[in-house]
Amino acid sequence: MAAQQLVSVYRKEHFNAAHRLFNASWNNEKNKTVFGKCSNEHYHGHNYELVVKLTGPVDVATGFVFDLKEMSDIITDRILEDFDHKNLNLEVEEFKTVNPTAENIAIVIFNRLRPLFPQHLQLQIRLYETERNFVDYPA
Amino acid sequence: MVYLTRIEYFTAAHKLYNTNWTKEKNEEVFGGCANENWHGHNFDLHVTVKGSPQKDTGFVMDAKVLGQIIKEHIIAKVDHKNLNLDVDFMKDTMCTVENLAIGIWNELLPHLPEEASLHCIRIYETQRIYVEYFGN
């Protein structure tokens, strides 16, 4: 029998948000030393580009790994509704206790989406904070 | 006449909010952009100057010097900042990308060398939204 053919499908979305990098257990000076201008107390912001990747076998009946329209609806509902045009530190529950670095944002997005896709599909998150800075989770 | 463009980048928070209006009216006009807790963007700033290439250098002006002028007078003031709260030349004005282009024009104008005149400020707020200001 031929090996199962795995295909990756991707959905690209974007959101615009404010944030600051700040460790509440450090004083302002230490935050400034470690995070530099990213710790500006009045926040700054980004156009985040989010790429969600699902990898798995092609369903015989549909020809899909996963319906991309459905994937888009899930991302919109669980991520964009809460993140777009928001302040990540103040308005997204998870970042009330976690520093909203690109790394942590990718992990939060993964954790939110993982239960919503079938377990046999691998999920990976790529998040661009700027055109030149981006992270992948899981690595 | 040759046009020379230098591209620089900055990231910033802002909100679109007219303090003379109610919260409801702001939300009606500006939607998610009126969020009281701010949102933000990666802005691309294109500064175009025009002039004749100098006989001795072949430059309209030195692009590296243009970059330094933009960094010193604009990027240092706006990068990783809150445009509404932290930027002196945006005080008392609506923090749209249109007004930001006008503000940047006015800030840069006095610092350019005689041989290069300012032609256009173009700012991309997102990949799909940009404005241009030509000084009038």
For A92-107, write each residue's pLDDT tens digit.
Answer: 999 999 999 999 999 9
Residue-level pLDDT at A4? 82
* B81 in reach of chain A (CB within 8 A): yes
Residues of B identified as active-site = 33, 80, 125
Q: Is the pLDDT of residue A77 over 60?
A: yes
State the CB neighbour count (10 A cutoff) for residue B57.
10
Predicted complex: ipTM over 0.85:
no
Task: Please report residues of A whose CB lies closer than 8 A to that of B126.
Answer: 14, 16, 47
Nearest to B82 by CA among A120, A44, A31, A34: A44
Q: Indicate yes or no: CB of B81 within 8 angstroms of CB of A42.
A: yes
What are B86-112's pLDDT values in tens digits? 999 999 999 999 999 999 999 999 999
Whole-angstrom Cα distance, residue A84 to residue A14?
8
Taking the C-alpha atoms of residue B104 and residue A116, their distance in angstroms, rounded to an integer, is 45
Residue A1 vs residue B102, higher pLDDT:
B102
Distances (CA, A) of A9 to A108, A116, B77: 21, 16, 41
Binding-face residues of B in 35-54 toward A, CB within 8 A = 35, 37-42
- % of chain B at pLDDT higher than 70: 100
The CA-CA-CA angle for residues B123, B128, B129, to 5°, reads 40
Distance in angstroms (rounded) separating the CA atoms of residues A84 and A16: 5
Give the CA dihedral A37, B104, B99, B93, nearest 10 degrees: 70
Model confidence at A1: pLDDT above 80: no
Average pLDDT of the residues of chain B? 97
In the predicted model, what is the mean pLDDT of residues A74-95?
Answer: 98
What's the mean pLDDT when you consider all of chain A? 96
Structure confidence by residue, pLDDT tens digits, A106-128 = 999 999 999 999 999 999 999 99
Q: How confident is the model at residue A2 (pLDDT cuts 50, 70, 90)?
A: low
Mean pLDDT in residue range B14-42: 96
